[in-house]
Amino acid sequence: MSQKVIDFEVPIHQLAQEYPDFVDIMYSIGFTKIKVPGMLNTVGKIINLKKGSKAMGIPQDKIAQAFEERGYELKNYDQ
Amino acid sequence: MTNKTLTSVQRQKKIVEILNFLHEGGDFDKAKKMFDESFSSVDVSEITSAERELISSGLNPMEIQNLCNVHAAVFKGSITGNESTPAFEKPGHPVATMKLENLVMSSLINDELLPCLKKWQQNGKNEEYLERMQKALKDLMTIDKHYSRKENNIFPLMDKYGITAPPKVMWGVDDEIRGWIKDAYKMVTSDPVPDKYKVEAAIEKACKEVLEMIFKEEEIMIPMLDEVATPEDWYMAEQDEKDIGYTLIAQPLPWKPTDKELAEGKKKKNPKIADELNKMAQGLADADGLEAKDHHREKKQIPIVDVTPSLQPKEKPAPKPAKEHMSMHEKIRQRSEHKLDPVKTGLELPSDEINVRFETGRLNLDELTALFNILPVDLTFVDATDHVKWFSNSPNRVFPRTKVVIGRAVVNCHPPKSVDKVLEILKEFHEGTSDSNEFWINLHGKTFVYIRYYALRDEDGHYLGCLEVSQDVTHIRALDGEKRLLEQKTKAKEAPETEK
């Protein structure tokens, strides 16, 4: 049983390593800087989705929806 | 001694004494102790009344603001008991300064600008709210100081540890925000003021972006820096801050790391993230094939550093040989170490005895320094590896430069929107297809600035670096007629003296 879980409190760098489609999904929601070389390896280790949502002004529910649509389960997501 | 034995006059004296101690660079925790000893059982109202007395007795308002900061920090400390205050919270630490400005700016947005916008929308005839929005946006424009300090003092620190992408991205956003604020300000000051919804959209956009940037600085940038930066790094950043200035706060107290903090900073070697960043930087350097390419050319030997009188050492101090296959990161490290800790030759000389012999004469260090400072142009020299090597420290530079910039890659010293142009110029200089370039800009419609770039080459034509020469030419452009040495009395049309 392999569950795909997106934890909103885990550094995004870790999520990106776990799930190959993570970066593209994030990019499609509006986190365009995630593809700038050197960003995921630095900022990505500090920041989780909760903080990312606030820093980029992208609401958490928009992130939640995008990942749910692709069959992810959500963890630590405050509705 | 408790506060009961202190009269209010003694109390004031004590407060001033502590303030003076802090101003002379005294240790914050010691000041806190002095404070606690005199005011152990004092409550907030007593301190505020003491402050009021100080104000009525004519204390400089700047001092009062400092006092408020100190007293806030002291009270914050007394809640957590006797532990020493974390360096980031000490008044004057670059992080504390940044956070204080962020607090003031957040309040300006949430308690003044946005409420005024709302009230103005409800009653558009009310000029008062429009004026207050104009004032608030004008104040918000001074965010430029906050961003300039970040870009010139803090980003180099990140660079130094291989964190290069985030500052570049952030600088781009900083520039956008400067633009959003300016747009909003233009709207509320134009006549007639545009459509309400347009004004609302512009102001809200600017506010949202500023607040998001505050979050990025405090929740991403500072934690990242905390992983890598040492107390020495912060001290170096702190020293250059006042040259640029502050956003909506008075000049903070001087801060310097305590011996204990320095010692703890040494222990903090190789944090995990720094280690990973090192590897990454190395990887990038390898990929770029950035190896030290030294021509090892035969150069004619001339005694350059001329040490007078008879103390001349037999062997000339050889520069540290560049390690072969040094990674970019190691090079950066070496450069910055060099900057912090100049090579010691075991020989100390007064600065007027250190001479450089040119073909056309000899100048000592004092003369050279004074000469560069008085030149009517500002010079910045970028070496053949495109790193900033030196700048002339004239007191009224058109574009301020801070010492942390030395050793920094030139690509990281420019806003993203102009970096392509800079790279193009340097490329032409390296290739030898061009030897100079020039620009002129009208700063704020008041100062006409002429900027020239020159390729420097040695006698064999090898590229040595790029010299930036910038100059305020407002006065020169306004000159008319003539003023000659021999005809002092004849009427020369004097150009208006420009302010610098």
> Which residues touch B153 (CB under 8 Å, ≥6 apart)?
B94, B237, B240, B241, B244, B402, B404
Which residues of chain B have a CB within 8 Å of the CB of A37? 165
User: What pLDDT is attached to residue B328?
Assistant: 46
User: What pLDDT is attached to residue B43?
Assistant: 53
* pLDDT band at residue B342 using 50, 70 and 90 as cut-offs: very low
Q: How far apart are CA B175 and CA B147, in angstroms?
A: 9
Best residue in A12, A31, A39, A41 to probe B by mutation, most B CBs within 10 Å? A41
User: What pLDDT is attached to residue B81?
Assistant: 42
Preceding omega of B192 cis (within 30 degrees of 0): yes
Q: How far is CA B62 from CA B58, B139, B460, in A?
A: 11, 18, 57
User: What pLDDT is attached to residue B443?
Assistant: 84
Average pLDDT over residues B180-198: 93
User: What pLDDT is attached to residue B88?
Assistant: 87
ipTM for the predicted complex:
0.89
> Which residues touch B463 (CB under 8 Å, ≥6 apart)?
B384, B429, B430, B432, B455, B456, B457
Lowest mean pLDDT among B10-14, B27-31, B52-56, B406-410: B52-56
Lowest mean pLDDT among A3-12, B13-22, B304-313: B304-313
B346 has a pLDDT exceeding 70: no
Which residues of chain B have a CB within 8 Å of the CB of A54? 212, 215, 219
Preceding omega of B309 cis (within 30 degrees of 0): yes
For A36, name the nearest residue in chain B, comparing CA atoms only.
B165
Average pLDDT over residues B374-389: 91
Q: How far is A40 from chain B (nearest CA, A)?
A: 9
Q: Are B368 and B299 in contact (CB under 8 A)?
A: no
Taking CB atoms and an 8 Å limit, are B169 and A46 in contact across chains?
A: no
* pLDDT band at residue B287 using 50, 70 and 90 as cut-offs: very low
Q: How far is A65 from chain B (nearest CA, A)?
A: 22
List of E strands, B242-401 = 305-307, 354-358, 361-364, 378-383, 388-391
Q: Which residue bears the tokens 């502050």?
A: B246
Lowest mean pLDDT among B30-44, B303-317, B369-383: B303-317
CA-only gyration radius of chain B, Å: 27
B113 has a pLDDT exceeding 60: yes
Query: Which has the closest alpha carbon to B156: B229, B105, B104, B72?
Result: B229
Taking CB atoms and an 8 Å limit, are B212 and A41 in contact across chains?
A: no
* pLDDT band at residue B292 using 50, 70 and 90 as cut-offs: very low
Average pLDDT over chain A, rounded to an integer:
92
CATH superfamily of this structure's domain B94-272: nmb1532 protein domain like (1.20.120.520)
Average pLDDT over residues B413-439: 89
B11 has a pLDDT exceeding 80: no
pLDDT tens for each residue of B152-185: 999 988 988 888 889 999 999 999 999 999 999 9
Q: How far is A36 from chain B (nearest CA, A)?
A: 7
Domain layout of chain B by residue ranges: 3-85, 94-272, 302-311+350-365, 375-478
> Across the A/B interface, how many CB contacts are shorter than 8 Å?
47
Q: How far apart are CA B132 and CA B129, in angstroms?
A: 5
User: What pLDDT is attached to residue A3?
Assistant: 84
User: What pLDDT is attached to residue B341?
Assistant: 39
CATH superfamily of this structure's domain B375-478: PAS domain (3.30.450.20)
Domain layout of chain A by residue ranges: 5-73
Average pLDDT over residues B483-491: 67
Taking CB atoms and an 8 Å limit, are A46 and B224 in contact across chains?
A: yes
B13 has a pLDDT exceeding 50: yes
Facing A38 at nearest CB: one of B165, B208, B216: B165
Which residues of chain B have a CB within 8 Å of the CB of A12? none
Which residues of chain B have a CB within 8 Å of the CB of A57? 208, 212
pLDDT tens for each residue of B216-270: 999 999 999 988 899 999 998 998 898 899 999 888 888 888 888 888 887 765 5
For A52, name the nearest residue in chain B, comparing CA atoms only.
B216
Facing B273 at nearest CB: one of A37, A45, A54: A45
* pLDDT band at residue B484 using 50, 70 and 90 as cut-offs: confident
User: What pLDDT is attached to residue B282?
Assistant: 53
User: What pLDDT is attached to residue B322?
Assistant: 45
For B167, name the nearest residue in chain A, comparing CA atoms only.
A39
* pLDDT band at residue B333 using 50, 70 and 90 as cut-offs: very low
Alpha-carbon torsion angle B15, B21, B22, B28, nearest 10:
-90
Taking CB atoms and an 8 Å limit, are B208 and A39 in contact across chains?
A: no
User: What pLDDT is attached to residue B201?
Assistant: 95
Q: How far apart are CA B430 and CA B435, in angstroms?
A: 9
B475 has a pLDDT exceeding 80: yes
pLDDT tens for each residue of B18-72: 767 776 777 777 777 777 777 655 555 555 665 666 656 555 555 656 666 666 6
* Fold (CATH) for A5-73: SP0561-like (1.10.3910)
Facing A46 at nearest CB: one of B223, B276, B284: B223
For B219, name the nearest residue in chain A, comparing CA atoms only.
A51
- Residues of chain A short of pLDDT 70, as ranges, are 1-2
Q: For residues B171 and B417, which has the higher predicted lDDT (pLDDT)?
A: B171
**Which helix or strand (DSSP H or E) is residue A49 part of?**
helix A49-56
Which residues of chain B have a CB within 8 Å of the CB of A55? 212, 215-216, 219-220
Average pLDDT over residues B198-212: 95
Kindly state the percentage of chain B with pLDDT values over 70: 68
Q: How far is A1 from chain B (nearest CA, A)?
A: 33
User: What pLDDT is attached to residue B321?
Assistant: 45
B344 has a pLDDT exceeding 50: no
Q: How far apart are CA B352 and CA B363, in angstroms?
A: 9
Taking CB atoms and an 8 Å limit, are B215 and A55 in contact across chains?
A: yes
Give the three-state DSSP class for B357: strand
Q: How far is CA B284 from CA A36, B164, B279, B327, B413, in A?
A: 14, 11, 9, 9, 19
Lowest mean pLDDT among A35-49, B279-293, B344-358, B458-472: B279-293
User: What pLDDT is attached to residue A64?
Assistant: 95
Residue-by-residue DSSP string for B319-353: PPPPPTT--HHHHHHHHHHHHHSPPP-S----GGG
User: What pLDDT is attached to residue B2?
Assistant: 46
User: What pLDDT is attached to residue A78?
Assistant: 80
Query: Which has the closest alpha carbon to B254: B21, B60, B14, B35?
Result: B21
Query: Which has the closest alpha carbon to B233: B178, B289, B321, B161?
Result: B161
Average pLDDT over chain B, rounded to an integer:
77
